[in-house]
Amino acid sequence: MMGRILGLPLLRDHHSHVSLYAALEGCPTLLGLSKEEALRLLRALPGEGLSIVLGWYSAKLSFTPQELSSLPPVVILNNSLHGMLLSVRAKERLRPTDPELVERHAEVEWCERHLAEVLTLYSRLASPSVVKMAALTRRLEAAGVGAAEDMLILDERSLDVVGRDTLCWADPGIWQGMSAKGRCRVHGFKLFLDGALAMRTAALSEPYLQGGDGLLLYGDKALEEKLAGLVPHQKPVAIHAIGGRAISQALAVLEKLRLPCVRLEHAQFIDEAQARRAKDLGLVLCMQPNFSVESRDYADRLPESHLHSLNPFRMLIDTVGFQPGRDLLFGSDGMPHGAEAAWQWGLFPLHEGQRLSSEELSLGYGPSAPGTGAFQLSIDEGRRLVKTVSRRDRS
């Protein structure tokens, strides 16, 4: 394989959902399939039980009501996990236990406001296990990841699946329902302020090309009350905020409160003024270099200015002074996991402002733990291509 070889320790992924991904381990995916190939895969699923299929991009694949009515019982998950499609036979299976979800799953706003419930359904149907977690761990290690945080633990049982060494975050409502032992295991709280680009629910500062500017999940007063209620527990708080309006709301509320440690998750469209406010507040940004691909994948919905301003790493580091590994952390959200996508879109993004050096990427992830092994990447500058080097490649 051509290109220079870069050796790295196994990384720490600061933003993933390992218990959910463990549940979904082994599920078939539509990623990379044509419409014809996708329908062939879906129609070949078992007629009994309820199948889960991953990797649906609404921008790339659509299914007619007639096509969905012809399928076996299947739940098709959006690649962002923020939405789903149900075949007619899947609706029949789920209606006795989840009637409201069946009736309202196609309502984007309902899904965003009930995201924990939606993700819990995925986990319940697929069922995480220690065996699946072991398989996921092996796959992550092959991709260069030695440890990954679980940003939304969905129930107390999942704490045992991911193991004691995994840093876990939970929705405050789910945390309240845990035992005292389970609450102690949870590192911090996770809140969502907006949705996702895939569903056009991330709260942008200007409209999507198709109209609408996304969804704020809280009013300012409600968010302030929610966060104020978390202060007595003195746990870190991770706040999902993708679009500029969500970031502005988070900053405005956080300026009024004293929380021990706050991370802004994603912050894909943070501008310089917001970044300076975040820096002054002592916030940590946890971002995904692999999401720079969305300047390409979501060109169908993002205004031109947003294609260039997505993941503004050079501004954050060179102008405002965020430091990878200290107050600028990197994760993947599992879309996809691994160093290959992070280095590919960090070293060779579409826009210069998204560029990261290999050293910055290494610092932002950080090693999973001392002595946990290493992996190699092949970096071909001429072809602007990064590949994971396997044992076979090295021989």
pTM reported for the whole predicted model: 0.93
Residue 1 pLDDT > 50: no
Query: Is 1 inside a domain boundary?
Result: no
Distance CA 212, CA 204 (A): 9
Q: What are the pLDDT digits (tens) for 296-348? A: 999 999 999 999 999 999 999 999 999 999 999 999 999 999 999 999 999 99
Whether residue 59 is found in the same domain as residue 191: no
Query: For position 294, which CATH number holds?
Result: 3.20.20.140
- Is residue 157 within 8 A of residue 179, CB to CB? The reply is no
Q: What's the whole-number mean pLDDT along residues 131-151?
A: 96
| Mean pLDDT score across all residues of the chain | 95
Whether residue 240 is found in the same domain as residue 335: yes
Cβ neighbours of residue 169 under 8 Å, at least 6 residues apart? Answer: 149, 150, 151, 152, 153, 186, 187, 188, 189, 190, 238
pLDDT at 371: 66
Residue 174 pLDDT > 70: yes
Whether residue 302 is found in the same domain as residue 196: yes
Q: What are the pLDDT digits (tens) for 344-361? A: 999 999 999 999 999 999
**Positive/negative CA dihedral, 327, 334, 260, 184:** negative
Nearest 5°: CA angle at 131, between 151 and 133? Answer: 20
Query: Is 162 inside a domain boundary?
Result: no
Whether residue 360 is found in the same domain as residue 220: yes
Query: For position 82, which CATH number holds?
Result: 3.10.310
373: confidence class by pLDDT, cuts 50, 70, 90: confident
Q: With CA atoms as reference, report the closest residue to 377 among 352, 344, 346, 354.
A: 344
Query: Is 358 inside a domain boundary?
Result: yes
- Name the token pair of 390: 């396997």
Q: How many CB atoms are closer than 10 A to CB 252?
A: 13
- Name the token pair of 301: 């919905």
Query: Is 376 inside a domain boundary?
Result: no
Domain boundary among 74, 96, 126: 126
Query: Is 15 inside a domain boundary?
Result: no
Residue 393 pLDDT > 60: no
Q: What are the pLDDT digits (tens) for 243-266? A: 999 999 999 999 999 898 999 999
Tally the domains of the chain.
2
Q: What's the whole-number mean pLDDT along residues 206-211?
A: 96
Query: Is 383 inside a domain boundary?
Result: no
- Is residue 5 within 8 A of residue 376, CB to CB? The reply is yes
- Is residue 235 within 8 A of residue 185, CB to CB? The reply is no
Whether residue 194 is found in the same domain as residue 342: yes
Query: Is 392 inside a domain boundary?
Result: no
Question: In the sheet where 74-78 sits, what is the strand order?
Answer: 51-56, 74-78, 84-86
Whether residue 332 is found in the same domain as residue 202: yes
Q: What are the pLDDT digits (tens) for 73-130? A: 999 999 999 999 999 999 999 999 999 999 999 999 999 999 989 999 999 999 999 9
370: confidence class by pLDDT, cuts 50, 70, 90: confident
pLDDT at 374: 87
Residue 391 pLDDT > 70: no
CA dihedral 226, 232, 236, 237 (to 10 degrees): 0
Q: Which domain holds residue 106?
A: 22-126
Whether residue 200 is found in the same domain as residue 102: no
Cis peptide, bond prior to residue 336, ω within 30 of zero: yes
pLDDT at 73: 98
Whether residue 121 is found in the same domain as residue 197: no
Amino acid (one-letter) located at 20: L
Q: What are the pLDDT digits (tens) for 15-55? A: 999 999 999 999 999 999 999 999 999 999 999 999 999 99
- Name the token pair of 358: 């290999």
395: confidence class by pLDDT, cuts 50, 70, 90: very low
Q: Cα separations (Å) of 369 from 11, 121, 365, 373? A: 8, 33, 11, 9
Strand partners, 266: 241
Cβ neighbours of residue 214 under 8 Å, at least 6 residues apart? Answer: 194, 195, 200, 201, 202, 203, 204, 208, 243, 245, 246
Residue 3 pLDDT > 90: no
Whether residue 217 is found in the same domain as residue 292: yes
Whether residue 101 is found in the same domain as residue 248: no
Residue 372 pLDDT > 90: no
Residue 2 pLDDT > 70: no
Whether residue 70 is found in the same domain as residue 201: no
Whether residue 101 is found in the same domain as residue 199: no
Q: What are the pLDDT digits (tens) for 265-282? A: 999 999 999 999 999 999
Query: Is 275 inside a domain boundary?
Result: yes
pLDDT at 365: 97
Distance CA 249, CA 37 (A): 43
68: confidence class by pLDDT, cuts 50, 70, 90: very high
